[in-house]
Amino acid sequence: MINIAGIALSSPLVLAPLAGYSDLPFRLLCREFGAGLCVSEMISCHGLVYSQKKTLAMLASVPEERPVSFQLFGADPYMMAKAADILNNFEPDLVDINMGCPVKKVTKKGAGAALMSTPEIARNIIEEVVKNSNAPVSVKFRKGVDSKTVTCLDFAQMAEDSGAAALTVHGRTWSQGFTGFSDWQSISSVKKAVSLPVIGNGDITSYQDAQEKMALAGCDAVMIGRGALGNPWVFNSNGRPENLISILKAVLRHLDLMEEHLDVNRLLAVVKNHIGRYFKNLQGSSKLRRQVYESDSFTSLYQMIQKLLAQ
């Protein structure tokens, strides 16, 4: 067991917040495969305050997935405070603040990674969320704004002073987006600069890789995003199986969880996005993936996987 912000985790491997992917069924699957904690998709503070249907759907949770972290995003300290207060009704174990997302739709409003260029607003947001949240608050941010403005050390200290209970650092700058590589040295520097638990993030592709990067940076835990898509085995020391049967069994488990917790026919695109990823880099994968993407209903997709398993 390790301890992050007062929460006991069975493993230091954490599922990253992934908009469009880290929904309840995927979080449950990753917990079953060994993840110690999963973070929700980013939740808009405005959506929460105005009770938007789509936003409220993102708060679906069940006791089996605990501990769970819900991630908030926004640029207005007042709205973030109100959203944190509303989140208390859902009793998350941890509340995370998104200060790392580089997507234009988010940054053009001053939220996500744009907050790294306005640290005073970021400070205000952290203080307000901490003040209004019953759960401990973590902050997820990047190495800096760009290669000339590497501010992660100051930013980390500011977050600690503002009452954050844990930090997640993605070792790319805002301007890098998802290009280049995550700089694990910068994550290591943040770990040395603060006394909070630090979760390192960026480019982990396997369980072994997670252990190596965690040791390299000396951080308390690591967060895995893209490397977990179609690959929940990333959380397990046995690694990804070689044989198709084991992969198909995991696919069926994921489909069962989606059927239980999602409106699968309305969200067929979400289902296909997840399932197609299991067949990446497998023999005959392009045909399998085409079959997935061409399925016209959840049932036909499910039956196709069952048929493959029976063969």
Ligand X SMILES: Cc1cc2nc3c(=O)[nH]c(=O)nc-3n(C[C@H](O)[C@H](O)[C@H](O)COP(=O)(O)O)c2cc1C
The residues binding ligand X (CB under 6 A) are: 16-21, 41-42, 71, 98, 100-101, 140, 170, 201-204, 224-227
Nearest in space to 109 (alpha carbons), one of 54, 20, 44, 53: 44
CA atoms within 13 A on the CB side of 144: 13
Q: Is 101 considered catalytic here?
A: yes
| Candidates 38, 101, 152, 219; catalytic one | 101
For ligand X, give the closer residue by CB, 21 or 235.
21
Is the distance from CB of 117 to CB of 174 less than 8 angstroms? yes
Alpha-carbon span 189 to 194, nearest angstrom: 9
Task: For the CB of residue 160, give the shortest distance to ligand X in the complex, in Å.
Answer: 19
Q: Give the shortest CB-113-to-ligand X separation in angstroms.
A: 9
Tell the smallest beta-carbon distance from residue 268 to ligand X (Å): 18
Nearer to ligand X, 21 or 155 (CB): 21
Q: CA-CA-CA-CA torsion for 163, 71, 184, 3, nearest 10 degrees? A: 60
- CA 261, CA 151: separation in Å to the nearest integer? 40
Q: Based on CB atoms, which residue is closest to ligand X, 29 or 305?
A: 29
Which of helix, strand or coil describes residue 301? helix
Question: Of the two residues 21 and 184, which places its CB atom closer to ligand X in the complex?
Answer: 21
Cβ contacts of 57-60, under 8 Å, gap ≥ 24: 58/23, 59/87, 59/90, 60/23, 60/24, 60/261
Angle between the N-to-C axes of helices 207-217 and 184-193, in degrees from 0 to 180, rounded to the nearest 10: 50
- Smallest distance, Å, CB 88 to ligand X? 21
Task: Indicate the residue whose CB is closest to ligand X.
Answer: 225
**Which residues are identified as catalytic?**
101
